[in-house]
Structure 1
């Protein structure tokens, strides 16, 4: 009798262990299937990546200093997106006076992006004090499984106004004039050109008058997009001799400006 009871208990235990083993195998199989399914998901795909001047949603891959860049892309993601990063930088551009390098980096984690198949759409401001030239642009998408995809291209950043080929006299005599010329390229057309001339703390002698003048030129330049500025500017006979600061400022029809600064020595004769 005891033998039968013991045998029944052993059979029950065996059945119980078998059931546990079965469910363990089943759960492990489901887990393996889930892992296999997750690992088989493809990395995100970036399509329709476009960028350009922000004000008109251009796709010409050109932007202007002081404006903004429009960027857009479709992201096909089988797993939820965890982050989108954008990088914009240049290589070995020459810095002019007052300019700084621009190395833009931003990670986007807006709720609208942390989904399956989001549309990326952003506007990035372009600083005014960076060098014009070619910039490298990279868009990277990472999903929750760690899959990563990157797309890249190049962006040309331009000035609305470009000044070049300067030729300005460095000395001039009182009562004479000085010559100034340079090339102007203004995308939106020239509104006017202002020449500001002044000195700092020059002693004013008998019969002399401090020379602080702003001269505006528009005739022969207004509304043109490419022209040579060529003028002879009179120096008053009453101006104190010494060093003067001269600033040429070109303003276009949209209010954008570009300046060139130099110095001139005014002599007594």
Structure 2
């Protein structure tokens, strides 16, 4: 009897063990979230061109398919080998989104991220990571070009001029929103008028031939009065677009007698 009882106990234990293993094997696995239809671009137009502009915002949107409830969505934006210029700063953005609209199954991610105006233009790296409540996570990595609304190139400006003559200025302007006007400001740097000389402080606004253009060559000749004191003068070119964005270029010119 004792032998039979032990045999039955062993059989029962093995049956329960095998059933337990079978149940574990049959339990469903929860897959990591899937990120699809990830789009991004200029915020004001919900563009998908993967281009945005300094001082504006980026529109980002993605569909998330998740078998378990989402616990967080992390977005990071970082410069790709860019060196800040004068007056510019590094932009290293990261934000974790735990809004109730995202703590769900199959949420849609949709955000607008402000872009500082004083960062370098160029390529930026975007990373979107979705994590569910079981600890599963998925990430996507993309790139976006962040540009200036206004760019100046091929700049050619005289560095010296004889008073009573004129100096030549020339450069290309690309303005996404169209040019409103171009202002040229010339003023002396510590120059004191002598006998028969008159202080020269010049400012002029140019619109004719430039207004509403998105790509144009600025080409002008600025007259220097014969009575202007000789010395170094500071020049500021300011391009304003139709949305009020501005771009400045500064240089110096020597006025000689």
> Smaller-chain TM-score range?
0.7 to 0.9
Quick check: 1:58 aligned with 2:47?
yes
Quick one: distance in 2 between partners of 1:209 and 1:88?
A: 54
SS in structure 1 at match of 2:44: helix
SS in structure 1 at match of 2:238: strand
Quick one: distance in 2 between partners of 1:145 and 1:135?
A: 31
Q: Map 1:39-50 onto structure 2 (within 5 A).
A: 40-50=29-39
Unaligned runs of 5+ in 1: 1-21
Quick one: distance in 1 between partners of 2:158 and 2:189?
A: 19
Instruction: Name 1:185's counterpart in structure 2.
Output: 174
Q: What displacement does 1:240 show? A: 2.2
Instruction: Name 1:8's counterpart in structure 2.
Output: none
Structure 1 window deviating more from structure 2 (196-205 vs 121-130): it is: 196-205
Q: Structure 2 length normalisation: TM-score? A: 0.85
Instruction: Name 2:9's counterpart in structure 1.
Output: none
Q: Structure 1 length normalisation: TM-score? A: 0.82
Instruction: Name 1:256's counterpart in structure 2.
Output: 245
Q: What displacement does 1:94 show? A: 4.5
Quick one: distance in 2 between partners of 1:162 and 1:141?
A: 37
CA RMSD of aligned residues (A): 2.6
Instruction: Name 2:218's counterpart in structure 1.
Output: 229
Number of equivalenced pairs: 243
- 1:239 counterpart (220, 228, 246): 228
Unaligned runs of 5+ in 2: 1-12
Instruction: Name 2:128's counterpart in structure 1.
Output: 139
Q: What displacement does 1:80 show? A: 1.8
Structure having the larger proportion of residues in helix: 1
